[in-house]
Chains A and B, each alone.
Chain A
Amino acid sequence: MYSNILDTVKTSSDREELLSEINQIKTAFYESAKNLEDVLKSKVRSFFAEAIRQQIQEGADLEKYFSGLVKALNGLDEVKLEVALELTYEEIEAISNWINKSTGGKTLISFDVKPNILGGATVSFKGKYFDGSLLKILDKTLEESRDALIKQIYLQK
């Protein structure tokens, strides 16, 4: 029922945004039914406004709809990724698709930008952690080839 909405939510910040929009609609609806259209026009994203208008047309119970949507949103698992730089929308989409394919369900991503990891990402999901950063790889490689490196430097001298 909510799949069209949930498909648009890829990151935790998307979820936060959607939850605040739902809150605004609920507040407006509580105050008066007339305000609803104003809020849908000005404060809510178009795809979501459309979906709500459709629900209204179908005569669905909005309160039930929203509580169901909020429950679905809060029930989504979250993966924390530490990356080296800000990603574009397309890049986020590609990564999100990959993750959803591999976890077999809908998973949100929470991004944390840390330039010191140089590249790659550190992944934490449900309490488990993996460091796949370029920093770690570089440190490891340099450490392993340390002796050879030093010899080379002295030879070059």
Chain B
Amino acid sequence: MKNYKYYLDKTGEIGYVKRVVHSIAYVEGLPNAVSKEVVLFECGAQGLILSLLDNFIEVLLISSVPVKVGESVARTGEQLTVPLSEELLGSIVSPLVLSLSGEEIVAKPKEKRPVDNEPISILGRTEIKLPFETGVKIVDLMVPLGKGQRELVIGDRKTGKTLFLMQAMLSQSRLNTICVYSAIGKRQQELESVIDFMEENKILSSSVVVATGSADPAGLIYLTPYTAMTIAEYFRDLGRDVLIIMDDLTAHASYYREISLLARRFPGRSSYPGDIFYMHAKLLERAGCFENGTITALPVAESAMGDLTGYIQSNLMAMTDGHIFFDIDRYNRGIRPAINPFLSVTRVGMAAQSPLVRDLNRHLSSFLVHMEEVREFMHFGAEVSDSLKSTLNLGIRVDEFLHQEQLSIVPVNIAIFLLGAIWGGFAKDIDKDKLRTEYDRIFQKYSNVTQFRQFVDSLILGSPSFNDLVQKISKQEGAFSLQ
């Protein structure tokens, strides 16, 4: 982008700021201005034309430089574009693809793309065929995802949503996926903890972080997920698989509401503008499974008191291919991760899984439902039969198995293997307190011992059904010995 004087001479048009209302400036002049055009102020601020009124132009301010009344404005004749190249990997950028201190990051851009793109039509898309591993056992087995799926991560605040996303990022970066994390109006401390995690686990070098703080102008915060999606599309077109995380879209909706109300748009339900659904749907439709690559989207929504019927929450649930629900009750009971597998849904993820995983999912789901019923029954204090006792025993083992420490990942194959072993009675004699240690030992063995890993992988590959796997494992007793 060149300077203000250049555009003034180039276009031969000038405007003057007549009124400034927080993040919206009303400009008089600029007779040939076009909607969504970028304008430059004399003080160096940038703006986007929101709408064209009779006597004024409504400009959304996207810089933190303050704009005064009477200031002159030049239009650039261009839409908002961002420079893109592989130099972006490993950097933390603002929505204008500048460093957080305002310097240029991409010195030699390979491409410049507009931030607001049309999503690819149905002709450019393919079926979701490959599984998407998050490294979190309960998700990979109960609510499995596919590459190219849009899965909403929803829950109350402080229930572990961001931690789950970091686990997913860690798993996927190990599988050579590019991660694009967009922090929408986050507090500095929260952003720093995510970045520290990415640096420690060496995933920052294959990721891009698009961040805005809560002190940034509303216009800039509004652009954050759009820039992140444009960057994701660029890497998808290079043939890579991309994971995009939008943390979080409820905050994004509230900043958009602020902008719309200031621009005197008619308020709808909960004072949100009427086009809030369109705004999010257009963004999420840009993710998916395409011919040259996939973009898997994990948008985040915050609910209040577990209420999934809120406006933005239900909107997002409608436009995604499923949701993972973080239950505050489970969190308070100490269950980690606090995912409620009965209230979580995956619409297209199952089709991308192997027959074994589908069969396992059926068994596990029906078992967990049965366990819930049994637990309800236990409240009566009735006497317990032997079969019920063994069910309860297995239930405890499965619960301990599904528990996962924060920021730890477990490859899906070993999770399936261990569940099969537990199903076959491997852990029935181990004390409840020692179960987690025992499970961790086996996970460590999978990571460290190549022979064991190969054995497990081949066993999983060669088992068409869950019962088949359980039988095969029961025959291999020596597999769990310490050596």
Cβ–Cβ < 8 Å partners of B12 in chain A: 128-130
Cβ–Cβ < 8 Å partners of B29 in chain A: 124, 126-127
CA distance A21 to B30 in the complex (A): 33
The answer to the question of B15 belonging to the interface, with a C-beta cut-off of 8 Å to chain A, is yes
Contact A131–B8 (Cβ < 8 Å): yes
Cβ–Cβ < 8 Å partners of B28 in chain A: 127
Residues of B within 8 A of A (CB): 8-9, 11-15, 28-31
Q: Which chain A residue lies CB-closest to B75?
A: A127
Cβ–Cβ < 8 Å partners of A136 in chain B: 9
10 new A-B contacts, CB < 8 A, other than A124-B14, A128-B13, are A124-B29, A127-B29, A127-B30, A128-B12, A128-B14, A128-B31, A129-B8, A129-B11, A131-B9, A136-B9
Contact A126–B9 (Cβ < 8 Å): no
CA distance A136 to B8 in the complex (A): 13
CA distance A129 to B16 in the complex (A): 12
Cβ–Cβ < 8 Å partners of B31 in chain A: 126-128
CA distance A128 to B11 in the complex (A): 9
Contact A127–B13 (Cβ < 8 Å): yes
Shortest C-beta distance, B124 to chain A (Å), equals 41
CA distance A126 to B28 in the complex (A): 9
CA distance A67 to B29 in the complex (A): 27
Shortest C-beta distance, A113 to chain B (Å), equals 15
Cβ–Cβ < 8 Å partners of A127 in chain B: 13-15, 28-31
Interface 0/1 of A91-126, CB less than 8 Å to B: 000000000000000000000000000000000101
CA distance A128 to B29 in the complex (A): 8
10 inter-chain pairs at a CB distance below 8 angstroms, sorted by A residue, are A124-B14, A126-B31, A127-B13, A127-B15, A127-B28, A128-B14, A128-B31, A129-B13, A129-B14, A131-B9
Q: Which are the 6 A-B pairs with shortest beta-carbon distances? A: A127-B29, A129-B14, A127-B31, A124-B14, A127-B30, A129-B12
Q: Which chain B residue lies CB-closest to A129?
A: B14
CA distance A126 to B29 in the complex (A): 6
CA distance A136 to B31 in the complex (A): 24
Tier of interface size on chain A: under 10
Q: Which chain B residue lies CB-closest to A123?
A: B14
Shortest C-beta distance, B2 to chain A (Å), equals 15
CA distance A128 to B32 in the complex (A): 10
Cβ–Cβ < 8 Å partners of B8 in chain A: 129, 131
CA distance A131 to B11 in the complex (A): 11
Q: Which chain A residue lies CB-closest to B15?
A: A127
Cβ–Cβ < 8 Å partners of A124 in chain B: 14, 29
Shortest C-beta distance, A125 to chain B (Å), equals 9
CA distance A106 to B9 in the complex (A): 27
CA distance A128 to B12 in the complex (A): 6
CA distance A93 to B239 in the complex (A): 69
Cβ–Cβ < 8 Å partners of B11 in chain A: 129
Shortest C-beta distance, A75 to chain B (Å), equals 13
Q: Which chain B residue lies CB-closest to A136?
A: B9
CA distance A136 to B369 in the complex (A): 79
CA distance A83 to B9 in the complex (A): 17
CA distance A15 to B15 in the complex (A): 21
Shortest C-beta distance, B16 to chain A (Å), equals 8
CA distance A130 to B9 in the complex (A): 7
Within 8 A of B (CB), among A55-103: none
CA distance A129 to B12 in the complex (A): 5
CA distance A131 to B7 in the complex (A): 12
Q: Which chain A residue lies CB-closest to B74?
A: A129
Cβ–Cβ < 8 Å partners of A126 in chain B: 29, 31
Cβ–Cβ < 8 Å partners of A131 in chain B: 8-9
Q: Which chain A residue lies CB-closest to B72?
A: A124
Cβ–Cβ < 8 Å partners of B9 in chain A: 131, 136
Cβ–Cβ < 8 Å partners of A129 in chain B: 8, 11-14
Shortest C-beta distance, B278 to chain A (Å), equals 31
Q: Which chain B residue lies CB-closest to A124?
A: B14
